[in-house]
Amino acid sequence: MASVLFVCLHNAGRSQMSAALFERAARGRHHALSAGSEADPDGQVHPPVVDVMKELGIDLSDRRPQRLSRELAEHADIVVTMGCGDACPFIPGKRYIDWGLPDPKGRPLDEVRATRDDIARRVEQLVAELDQTAPQRRVSAPSASNGPRSLSTS
């Protein structure tokens, strides 16, 4: 199981959409976190972002921005950045991916929707890649020596 940290500036738009879409696409096979280099933990997800995600059946209305920390980044296998620039900590051994996506703040709904759809395509590709590289869990058949079914990694 891979852990992916999505990072943007305020953690109120792109990274929130990315984490939610990733969680939906991964269906428990991988885990997503999100944060912002200048996030205000007392803030909220941009209302147009909440609206376009609701169109897909994803509710972000109760999510709150989380400030990026080195500790949070250390827990991730992959860090996907979206406009946080030099504020994103560099941790040796981590894989970094930069998605050049426009900030949805103050954008018309059609543009926010287009950004959401772009993120969804990128997330699907990332999940597919992770599925190919992650060890697969399989259920082994019971035998006299191992008793009940057990999960093993191959």
How does pLDDT run across 10-45, given as a tens digit for each residue? 999 999 999 999 999 999 999 999 999 899 999 999
Residue 90 has pLDDT above 90, yes or no: no
On whether the CB atoms of residues 153 and 135 are closer than 8 A, the answer is yes
Residue 144 has pLDDT above 60, yes or no: no
The per-residue pLDDT for 83 is 79
Structure tokens at 14: 């792109």
The overall average pLDDT reported for the chain is 86
Distance, in Å, from the CA atom of 20 to the CA atom of 97, rounded to the nearest integer, reads 18
User: Higher-confidence residue: 73 or 57?
Assistant: 57
The per-residue pLDDT for 93 is 84
User: Higher-confidence residue: 83 or 98?
Assistant: 98
Q: Domain map of the chain by residue range? A: 3-153
- Classified by CATH at the fold level, domain 3-153 comes out as Rossmann fold (3.40.50)
One-letter amino acid for residue 74 of the chain: E
The per-residue pLDDT for 86 is 67
Residue 154 has pLDDT above 70, yes or no: no
What integer is the mean pLDDT of 106-131? 97
Confidence category of residue 2, pLDDT binned at 50, 70, 90:
very high
